[in-house]
Amino acid sequence: MMLIRYLSQIGRYFLMLKEIFNKQTKWSVMKNLILKEIDDLIIDSLGIVCFISFFIGGVVAIQTALNLTNPLIPKYLIGFATRQSVILEFAPTFISVIMAGKMGSYITSSIGTMRVTEQIDALEVMGVNSLNYLVFPKIIALLMYPFVIGISMFLGIFGGWIACAYGGFSTGADFISGAQMEFIPFHITYAFIKTLIFAMLLATIPSFHGYYMKGGALEVGKASTISFVWTSVTIILLNYILTQLLLG
């Protein structure tokens, strides 16, 4: 019974994706909606992303340095390990899980509140495709999400360099040498491919839970929690699959 419910929800989600791209809202209206979503979802997220990235990069560098106790192991490996950790996993995946909480709860609660207050019904009565009007601008805005992850990568490595150089674990030159060592450009491509797919999930899964919720104000809070859980689970599962496909 549980399996059937999950399958019906997955089917409903894909039907919602199809409906988002039907009957487009006119561009003069859509343009303002997209700009508002960029401000709410991308610009407002930069502060928390920068803060977390800088300090996690520092923590990764310090922990790597503390575990390299053998004097025969070169110190430049700290920079190498920090770069690999930040670019491959931390920036695209860890930040996306955090954004599932920040962006996801905002999207679910805003659409859920519109459902509760019957604003979505009013849009439908006026002949507007409410899914296109509400969700499409979020998808377009989150096409800028790789820009956020790019900043996260830079600040993660920069935080590692600061922690390493000023914490006395190695010299800044050694760290930079390690960060440049055996660099594979495809790793950046891999990170951005993941990021774009995660951006699509961040825009659509919380929207799905907000749009199809039933009840009152209490249920809006429950829907936000459920959307965070499912967005995080989907991101982690897809992370495993994409890593196996692209790097395996």
- Full DSSP string of 88-140: IIIIIIIHHHHHHHHHHHHHHHHHHHHHHTTHHHHHHHTT--HHHHHHHHHHH
Q: Are 159 and 53 in contact (CB under 8 A)?
A: yes
pLDDT reading at 195 higher than 90: yes
Task: Read off the pLDDT band of 15 (50, 70, 90).
Answer: confident
The H-or-E segment that residue 209 falls in is helix 186-211
Q: Which amino acid is at 142?
A: L
Q: Are 198 and 98 in contact (CB under 8 A)?
A: no
What is the phi/psi pair of residue 227, to 5°?
Answer: -65, -40
DSSP-derived letter for residue 215 is S
In angstroms, rounded to a whole number, what is the distance separating the alpha carbons of residues 27 and 96?
29
In angstroms, rounded to a whole number, what is the distance separating the alpha carbons of residues 44 and 148?
11
- Summarised one tens digit per residue, pLDDT across range 140-178 is 999 999 999 999 999 999 998 998 888 777 777 888 888
Whether pTM exceeds 0.85:
yes
- Summarised one tens digit per residue, pLDDT across range 49-61 is 999 999 999 998 8
**Tokens representing residue 70 in the block:** 């053998």
Q: Are 154 and 46 in contact (CB under 8 A)?
A: no
pLDDT reading at 240 higher than 90: yes
